[in-house]
């Protein structure tokens, strides 16, 4: 029997909002440019999004972690430990079973925060921008737990510019040797005519996503500018009550459509999820960041980037139309990112296979 060439790379993003999957899209494209074959391993809406972006791509359905979101993010993580461990064990079994049945095809794997996706003896990368998770009194324990799984991989990659330009202390830790691979975004900056005064871009775990949607729609009833409101959900909405006819509401946009929406909008209102921040940086787009209440990572990023005068930020409970319309000149948003860091990392990691 003829042996198959090892040219498949498994990419497994965590299904937690859309951030992990969207930042893996440029990785998939770069892998394809290197004449390698990406195989996406995921679940839920994240897997649906990948299938929309890459209809012909091979996929592996992984089990969900079953995380239940409460008002406090840290407590959500603590109470979800049993279901998370169960999900990790199941995905570990599935990934290892897949590799076992494709022994002459798999070159390596890339896990974006999926703790159970690794195979002993197989080259693997773990992607995260949180080596120093902010979780209050649980920080030391959670970070020790996280680092244990990171160290099972061959390498750790941080999606940021060197010196933690946009992640601050989140990506700094002396016990983990990591490589910066630059800002990961699907988008490219280009000059286009503006169509919208405001783009509302929602995402994240349900509950808080819906709360912010309702809050913003109510505040926007008296907004005079033209608005594109992207709900960030695959679930079809019920008829919304919007008194003005200047608000266009859509559930979801493909990468191409979302890129154009961002480019044609003057300002953005969105969560302070790190993948969204990377898109804003790439497109040099001013924005109001609203962290998900209780989600410590988003709260830290919003505060950090506000203090660095890169974006304006406020708490969800303080959102008003006045704050949404507020103009703020930000310094240093236009940052010349190194577009070659990701390719260099991939070439180095797969140096014996690609040229």
Is there a single domain that holds both residue 74 and residue 218?
no
Average pLDDT over residues 109-116: 95
Per-residue pLDDT at 110: 97
Coil, helix or strand for 12?
strand
Is there a single domain that holds both residue 223 and residue 313?
yes
CA distance 161 to 179: 10
Q: Which of 350, 316, 352, 312 is nearest to 33 (CA)?
A: 350
Is there a single domain that holds both residue 211 and residue 263?
yes
Average pLDDT over residues 167-191: 89
**Does a structural domain hold residue 333?**
no
**Does a structural domain hold residue 210?**
yes
Regarding beta strands 312-313 and 287-289, do their DSSP bridges make them parallel or antiparallel, or are they unpaired? parallel
Is there a single domain that holds both residue 53 and residue 95?
yes
Is there a single domain that holds both residue 14 and residue 163?
yes
Average pLDDT over residues 216-229: 90
Encoded tokens for 6? 């090892």
How many Cβ atoms from other residues are within 10 Å of residue 351's Cβ?
Answer: 9
Q: How far is CA 146 from CA 64, 90, 93, 132, 150, in A?
A: 18, 18, 19, 9, 6
How many Cβ atoms from other residues are within 10 Å of residue 289's Cβ?
Answer: 24
Is there a single domain that holds both residue 178 and residue 99?
yes
What's the CATH code of the domain at 303? 3.40.50.2000
Question: The whole model's pTM is what?
Answer: 0.87
Residue 215, pLDDT > 80, answer yes
Q: Please name the residue that has the structure tokens 């200047």.
A: 246
Domains identified in the chain, total number: 2
Per-residue pLDDT at 337: 67
Average pLDDT over residues 264-281: 93
**Does a structural domain hold residue 315?**
yes
Mean of the per-residue pLDDT values for the chain? 85
**Does a structural domain hold residue 206?**
yes
CA distance 138 to 279: 30
Is there a single domain that holds both residue 163 and residue 206?
no
Q: What is the largest CA-CA distance in the chain?
A: 70
Of the chain, the percentage scoring pLDDT greater than 70 comes to 86
Q: By residue range, what is the domain housing residue 141?
A: 8-183+338-349
Q: Which of 25, 33, 31, 34 is nearest to 9 (CA)?
A: 31
Is there a single domain that holds both residue 145 and residue 25?
yes
CA distance 336 to 317: 34
CA distance 189 to 262: 10
Give yes or no for a contact between 114 and 12, defined as CB atoms under 8 angstroms apart: yes
Is there a single domain that holds both residue 146 and residue 172?
yes
Per-residue pLDDT at 125: 96
Is there a single domain that holds both residue 43 and residue 121?
yes
Per-residue pLDDT at 287: 92
Residue 13, pLDDT > 90, answer yes
Average pLDDT over residues 137-153: 89
Higher confidence at residue 236 or residue 342? Answer: 342
Higher confidence at residue 96 or residue 319? Answer: 96
CA distance 80 to 238: 30
Residue 149, pLDDT > 60, answer yes
**Does a structural domain hold residue 3?**
no
**Does a structural domain hold residue 190?**
no
Per-residue pLDDT at 136: 78
**Does a structural domain hold residue 80?**
yes
CA distance 27 to 193: 29
Cross-strand partners of 158:
180
Is there a single domain that holds both residue 169 and residue 29?
yes
Is there a single domain that holds both residue 87 and residue 165?
yes
CA distance 119 to 96: 6
Task: Supply the DSSP symbol for 72.
Answer: S
**Does a structural domain hold residue 1?**
no
Per-residue pLDDT at 73: 61
């Amino acid at each position: 029997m003829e042996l198959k060439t090892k040219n498949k790379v498994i990419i497994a993003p965590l299904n937690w909002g859309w951030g992990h999957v969207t930042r893996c899209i440029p990785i998939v494209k770069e892998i394809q440019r290197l004449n390698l074959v990406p195989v996406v391993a995921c679940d839920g809406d994240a897997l649906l999004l990948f299938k929309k972006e890459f209809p012909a791509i091979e996929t592996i359905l992984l089990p969900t972690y079953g995380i239940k979101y409460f008002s406090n993010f840290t407590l959500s993580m603590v109470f979800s430990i049993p279901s998370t461990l169960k999900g990790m064990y199941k995905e570990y079994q599935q990934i290892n079973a897949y590799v076992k049945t494709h022994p002459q095809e798999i070159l390596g794997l890339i896990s974006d925060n999926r703790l159970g996706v690794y195979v002993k003896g197989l080259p693997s990368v773990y992607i995260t921008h949180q080596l120093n998770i902010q979780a209050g009194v649980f920080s030391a324990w959670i970070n020790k737990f996280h680092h244990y799984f990171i160290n099972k991989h061959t390498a750790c990659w941080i999606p940021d510019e060197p010196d933690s330009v946009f992640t601050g202390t989140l990506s700094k830790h002396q016990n983990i040797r990591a490589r910066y691979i630059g800002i990961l975004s699907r988008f490219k900056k280009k000059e286009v005519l503006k169509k919208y005064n405001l783009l509302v871009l929602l995402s994240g775990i349900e509950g808080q996503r819906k709360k912010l949607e309702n809050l913003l729609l109510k505040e926007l009833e008296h907004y005079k500018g033209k608005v594109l409101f992207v709900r960030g959900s695959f679930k079809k909405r019920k008829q919304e009550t919007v008194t003005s006819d200047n608000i266009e509401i859509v559930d979801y946009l493909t990468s191409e459509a979302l890129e154009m929406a961002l480019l044609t909008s003057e300002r953005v209102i969105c969560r302070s999820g790190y993948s969204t921040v990377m898109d804003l940086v790439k497109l040099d787009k001013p924005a109001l960041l609203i962290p998900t209440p209780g989600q410590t990572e988003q709260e830290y990023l919003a505060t950090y980037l506000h203090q660095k005068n890169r974006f304006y930020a406020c708490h969800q409970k303080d959102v008003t139309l006045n704050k949404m319309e507020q103009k703020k000149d930000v310094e240093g948003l236009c940052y010349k990112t190194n577009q070659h860091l990701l390719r260099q990392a991939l070439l180095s990691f797969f140096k014996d296979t690609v040229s």
